[in-house]
Amino acid sequence: MNKPLRRIAIFCGLLVLALLIRDNWLQYVKADSLRTDPKNRRVLITRYATPRGDIIVDGSPITGSKKTSPDSLNDFAYKRTYKDGEMWSPVTGYASQAFGATQLESIEDGILTGNDDQLFFRNTLDMLTGKERQGGNVVTTLNGAAQKAAFDGLKQVGGKGAAVALNPQTGAILALASYPSYDPSSFAGNSTTIDSKAWTKLQKQNDPSDPMLNRALRETYPPGSTFKVVTAAAALENGLYTSADQPTNSPVPFILPQSTTPLKNEGSIQCKNVNMREALRVSCNSVFGKIGADLGKDKMLAEAKKFGFDSEQFVPVRAVASNFPEKMDQASTALSSIGQFETATTPLQMAMVASAVANDGKLMKPYMVDKLESSSLDTLTQTQPQELSRPLSEKNAQILQSMMETVVTQGTGTKAQIPNVNVGGKTGTAQHGENNSGKPFAWFISFAKLPDGSSPVAVAVVVEDDNAHREDISGGGLAAPIAKNVMEAVLNSKK
């Protein structure tokens, strides 16, 4: 081969080599980034080319897909629809052609669209038979009746708030309600005249009530007196007291350590030297503040962390971490131990507290997806309950159950009573705002089970009622009736 031809051959070989390198770079190195690039519209077209799988509650779908009208401006074949979307959006999130997806719609997008690797075999069969690709289903642990009771209760109060119900024995989430809420169907498409306007209207800057905030998982509140359940658990676990009926040697007034400030009790309740059962029944700040100060910040923090404080939870939707402060003096420890100072918690976290007590001291990891299914209803994955921690011994948990039951039978939680059912609870009226200027939050945490111990349920409810008179706001008055209805809904569904 003469010299000019050899040079041309080498040059052409280098071009082919460069082409092969570029091709492999795009196909293997850049594949994921190109696939997920927001400018890659083909991914979205594929996502909405077929109906999405469904999110299932009680064996029935709460989602659907609707064929869109052919339009030169819309190349998506299907859009998402929702049944009772406002009630279920804290669970489902949304899937919007214009604004993406959140929560279960996002986390399980691969299953719902049929693109997940777990569906490879099913998709291969469909391709060979010429069948259109179908998405799989996400089967939840939610209880429809409990969710309706929670949402309707919050809506009837008319303020802002959230409610969470758990199965203490498994950690399965039975209700997850937030109010006010939104209907994901209102912006499921990509119309600039309909969907974009609906989306804009729901944003916090345009709606101060912030309806798209998932208050059950993503908002933290001062827990007020409901945190006294954690403090009582710490007292029992650390041997400060060994029974519910042992005198606590608590003075009235109790002066916050290293200060001259008394920790006041509500009204004229009698708290001097009462036992923990009575202190929880009437909600004595002085008793539980002194317990926190006596135990110290390290023991209180350790107990709070056993209940899940200071850790994010993934259910699989992310729940923000609740907070029990690490840097405190004795006075701050006393305040934190009655749910004040910097203590802040999600409704999910307080449901976990009630759940651990109800389950004889064993805290189960909360979850809301029971299983993932293929379009042919074959089970792909099944969630197995997992133990998260042991905040209490069985003996101490049963002592605390008895104390919480006294709160409902004779104390501040009587509106949660259910005939022929063992119900335990704790009310809370949490102060907030600068110098406690804001209207307090009404809390109630509780558990219920039949006399034989079967069909247990744990619930946490928080209500922000800006329209109520300050003196009318109480956990027993606003939140306890909602919790009662949720517990009844779960118990009745088991019959």
Q: What is the DSSP string of 309-350?
A: TTS-EESSSEEPPPB--SS--HHHHHHHTTT-TT-BB-HHHH
3-state secondary structure of 175: strand
pLDDT tens, residue by residue, 258-271: 899 999 998 889 99
- How much is the pTM? 0.89
Q: What is the mean pLDDT of residues 144-155?
A: 97
Of 191, 225, 374, 455, the active-site residue reads: 225
List domains and CATH numbers for the chain: 217-366+389-493 (3.40.710.10)
305-355 tens-digit pLDDT? 999 999 999 999 999 999 999 999 999 999 999 999 999 999 999 999 999
Cα gap 149→395, rounded to integer Å: 33
pLDDT above 80: residue 100 = yes
Strand ranges inside 401-468, DSSP E: 422-432, 438-449, 457-464
Q: Is 89 marked active-site?
A: no
Given a cut of 60, whether residue 434 has pLDDT beyond it is no
- Average pLDDT of the chain is 89
pLDDT at 285 over 60: yes
* Range among 60-74, 124-138, 284-298 rated most confident: 284-298
Q: How far is CA 314 from CA 72, 159, 368, in A?
A: 41, 27, 10
Instruction: List, in order, residues 6 or more apart from 227 with CB less than 8 Å away.
Output: 336, 337, 338, 339, 343, 345, 428
461-485 residue pLDDT tens: 999 865 544 444 567 788 999 999 9
Which one is predicted more confidently, 135 or 26?
135
Radius of gyration of the chain (CA): 27
Structure-model confidence comparison of residues 200 and 468, the more confident one: 200
Q: Could you tell me which residue, 478 or 181, shows the higher pLDDT?
A: 181
C-alpha–C-alpha distance, residues 475 and 490, integer Å: 21
Query: Mean pLDDT highest for which of 69-83, 264-278, 396-410?
Result: 396-410
Higher per-residue pLDDT: 434 or 233? 233
pLDDT at residue 127, as a whole number: 55
Span 84-99, average pLDDT:
96
